[in-house]
Amino acid sequence: LGRPPMAVGFDIDDTVLFSSPGFWRGQKTFSPGSEDYLKNPQFWEKMNNGWDEFSMPKEVARQLIAMHVKRGDSIWFVTGRSQTKTETVSKTLQDDFLIPAANMNPVIFAGDKPGQNTKTQWLQAKQIKVFYGDSDNDITAAREAGADYVGDMDMVEKIQKENWFDF
């Protein structure tokens, strides 16, 4: 194996962060009983600028990110969240997961466009070789971009035991 340092990507919501509290609050605040809040720019301004303070980092993600940092890999976060004028998500993730500036990149807000997998182009553009996610959309994006996909975040032990990335 012994792969050289590479670009790796992570989905954010429910992959590295348990972010449901922010989404729950968004629905309650902006569109009780419906998903309309997901199309509301005000919700995304809140979610991308502070509501992640209520999101809990997943321990398995902490371990995976630490392994990739140790390898010298470049860390990217690619999310389906809508882009906003400002964002604090990048700093929150860097702080939560102790990612050195040399390994960290700004979060990519791929957004959501019907009939299009908005993450694919970003995985290709950033030459991401391994993508960690939690949805069918993430699997498709990784496949289309030619990246390896890891969808079972409980695979840390297997990755370490089988020395997938020459840790």
How many whole angstroms separate alpha carbon 78 and alpha carbon 71?
20
Could you tell me the pLDDT band of residue 112, with boundaries at 50, 70 and 90?
Answer: confident
pLDDT score recorded for residue 151: 79
Condensed to tens digits (0 to 9), the pLDDT of residues 116-132 reads: 889 999 999 999 999 99
> Annotated catalytic, 148?
no
Task: Establish whether 13 is a catalytic residue.
Answer: yes
Evaluate if residue 137 carries a pLDDT over 50: yes
Catalytic residue among 11, 52, 73, 96: 11
Q: Does residue 27 carry a pLDDT above 50?
A: yes
For the stretch 88-100, pLDDT in tens is 999 999 999 999 9
Q: Which of 13, 52, 96, 138 is catalytic?
A: 13
Say if pTM beats, i.e. exceeds, 0.85.
yes
Residue 150: the pLDDT is 85
**Average pLDDT rounded to a whole number, residues 82-108:** 96
